[in-house]
């Protein structure tokens, strides 16, 4: 999305202005701005055109509701008509969208900074799967397509793995349809290897991009996994000075001073940068797999201590918050480099399937056991090697060495990593 408001309502006059890359005028005083992409086969036209077509048939709220409930994709939109805006965001919140208001205006934007520039101090993330009707009175939200917590489905591991392969395979192929060639953010681990394997079956040229600091075991693993997949691999190694430069850039791009988000964002910044330099315009990644299928150690700990119901609720809550914890960060970083990030795991259909699975299909009740069991089983069924399917999870900021480098940089200034990142954030805020 453009780093500018996509819709602004003047509270004094009631006038509405729209801006954006996909902007079309409809009948009368109605206009549409659309950011992102739709993958649903039934919506063959662009997002703005599809919404415009619906507007010819019904009112703006109904048209937006139908579009949001039926369209699969990563998108945000605003429909402007006299005196109000109708806005919406995709069901998982992959496409960044923020909202806020001041005494003079109510606005929506793809970045917090764009709202800050309007004098809107509190820029909030627009809730995924919701519509908002924006008027002089402010924002009125309604849920349209959101995940619901439910009792687990009675599936066994084999059946769940087959269903997962089908759902994920469909998601990958939709996201590479018509592209020609794609890059994959590649660690050599389970998630990125599965995405790369499935993409290679979708009539598209797949290229793997691996980044790390020098002398990391993860790079050796990535080379072995790429060889097993039979796919070309680019390896890019970085040093402490590169971490320092990227930390400043990432802090500015994500518009937050969260040290964990910055440490995860740095490797992603490098991947997007190198993919763009190599001429790729689409980047696939495995974000969302850990939340959907129980990849984090905290889930295993909770399963051992508080049981099935609590850990399922814990994972569900993390999936619902995925847009704030990961997706907004990564899409904004990639957009800066002119690369479109597409995330096969971050789909409503896959999330709906995953949150309904029993915890026992994701985790084992024993210390030190592997996690993401159903995804590992699906990968085994695909024929991926044991070196991939049995590889333990290691967070990207640790595997690449970025976290250690940030600690070292912060230590040179006698700061914690949190203080170091906050200092960078303040500098960027003053600059802007």
pLDDT computed for residue 41 by the predictor = 66
pLDDT computed for residue 52 by the predictor = 72
Q: Number of folded domains in the chain?
A: 2
CATH of the domain at 111: 3.60.20.10
pLDDT computed for residue 24 by the predictor = 57
Beta strand ranges found along 26-137 (DSSP E): 31-38, 73-81, 84-89, 98-101, 105-109, 124-125, 130-135
Does 196 fall in a domain? yes
Task: Give the span between the Cα atoms of 109 and 112, in whole angstroms.
Answer: 7
Does 149 fall in a domain? no
pLDDT computed for residue 58 by the predictor = 74
Does 432 fall in a domain? no
| 269 and 349 inside one domain | yes
| 37 and 186 inside one domain | no
CATH of the domain at 223: 3.40.50.620
pLDDT in tens for each of the 432 residues of the chain? 345 668 999 999 999 988 755 555 554 577 888 888 999 866 555 666 777 777 766 778 998 999 999 999 999 999 988 889 999 999 999 999 999 999 999 999 999 999 999 999 999 999 999 999 999 999 999 999 999 999 999 999 999 999 999 999 999 999 999 899 999 999 999 999 999 999 999 999 999 999 999 888 889 999 999 999 999 999 999 999 999 999 999 999 999 999 999 999 999 999 999 999 999 999 999 999 999 999 999 999 999 999 899 999 999 999 999 999 999 999 999 999 999 999 999 999 999 999 999 999 999 988 888 999 999 999 999 999 999 999 887 777 767 889 899 999 999 999 999 999 999 999 876 554
Does 148 fall in a domain? no
| 343 and 203 inside one domain | yes
The answer to whether the Cα torsion of 110, 191, 215, 181 is positive or negative is negative
| 129 and 190 inside one domain | no
pTM: 0.93
pLDDT computed for residue 42 by the predictor = 64
| 161 and 293 inside one domain | yes
| 212 and 114 inside one domain | no
pLDDT computed for residue 367 by the predictor = 82
Task: Give the span between the Cα atoms of 201 and 190, in whole angstroms.
Answer: 17
pLDDT computed for residue 312 by the predictor = 97
Does 188 fall in a domain? yes
Cα–Cα distances in angstroms (integers) from residue 285 to residues 185, 202, 268, 379, in the given order: 5, 16, 10, 16
| 15 and 109 inside one domain | yes
Domain endpoint, select from 143, 167, 190: 143
pLDDT computed for residue 2 by the predictor = 43
| 31 and 104 inside one domain | yes
| 17 and 78 inside one domain | yes
| 129 and 232 inside one domain | no
pLDDT computed for residue 19 by the predictor = 73
Does 409 fall in a domain? yes
| 118 and 177 inside one domain | no
Give the containing element (helix H, strand E) for 8: strand 5-10
Task: Give the span between the Cα atoms of 235 and 210, in whole angstroms.
Answer: 5
| Structural tokens at position 294 | 């129980």
Domain endpoint, select from 83, 108, 143: 143
Does 426 fall in a domain? no
Does 213 fall in a domain? yes
Domain endpoint, select from 143, 168, 195: 143
CB 381 within 8 A of CB 199: no
Structural domain span for residue 297 = 157-421
| 356 and 296 inside one domain | yes
- For the beta carbon of residue 128, count every other beta carbon within 10 angstroms: 28
């Amino acid at each position: 999305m453009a780093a500018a408001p996509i819709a602004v309502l003047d509270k004094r006059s009631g006038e509405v202005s729209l801006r954006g890359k996909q902007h079309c005028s409809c009948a009368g005083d109605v206009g549409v701005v659309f950011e992102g992409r739709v993958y649903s086969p039934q919506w063959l036209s662009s997002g703005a055109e599809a919404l415009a077509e619906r507007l010819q048939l019904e009112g703006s709220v109904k048209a937006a509701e139908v579009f949001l409930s039926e369209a699969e994709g990563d998108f945000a939109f605003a429909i402007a008509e006299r005196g109000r805006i109708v806005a919406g965001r995709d069901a998982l919140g992959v496409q960044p969208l923020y909202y806020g208001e001041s005494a003079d205006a109510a606005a929506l934007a793809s970045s917090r900074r764009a709202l800050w520039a309007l004098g809107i101090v509190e820029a909030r993330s627009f809730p995924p799967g919701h519509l908002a009707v924006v008027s002089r009175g402010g924002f009125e939200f309604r849920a349209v397509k959101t995940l619901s917590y439910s009792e687990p489905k009675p599936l066994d591991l084999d059946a769940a793995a087959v269903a997962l392969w089908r759902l994920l395979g469909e998601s990958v192929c939709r996201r590479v349809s018509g592209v020609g060639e794609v890059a994959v953010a590649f660690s050599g681990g389970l998630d990125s290897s599965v995405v790369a394997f499935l993409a290679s079956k979708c009539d598209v040229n797949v290229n793997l991009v691996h980044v790390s600091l020098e002398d990391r075991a993860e790079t050796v693993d990535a080379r072995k996994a790429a060889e097993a997949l039979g796919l070309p691999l680019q390896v890019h190694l970085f040093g402490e000075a590169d971490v320092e430069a990227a930390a400043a850039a990432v802090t500015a791009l994500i518009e937050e001073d969260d040290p964990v988000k910055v440490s995860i964002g740095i490797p992603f910044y490098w991947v997007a940068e190198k993919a763009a330099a190599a001429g790729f315009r689409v980047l696939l990644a495995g974000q969302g797999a850990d939340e959907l299928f129980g990849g984090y150690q905290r889930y295993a700990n909770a399963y051992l201590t508080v049981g099935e119901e609590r850990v399922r609720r814990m994972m569900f809550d993390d999936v619902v918050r995925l847009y704030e914890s990961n997706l907004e960060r990564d899409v904004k970083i990639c957009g800066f480099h002119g690369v479109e990030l597409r995330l096969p795991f971050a789909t409503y259909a896959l999330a709906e399937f995953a949150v309904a699975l029993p915890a026992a299909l994701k985790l084992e009740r024993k210390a030190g056991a592997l996690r993401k069991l159903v995804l590992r089983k699906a990968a085994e069924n695909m024929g991926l090697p044991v070196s991939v399917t049995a590889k333990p999870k290691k967070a990207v900021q640790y595997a690449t060495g970025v976290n250690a480098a940030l600690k070292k940089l912060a230590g040179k200034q006698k700061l914690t990593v949190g203080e170091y990142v906050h200092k960078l954030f303040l500098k960027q805020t003053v600059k802007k």
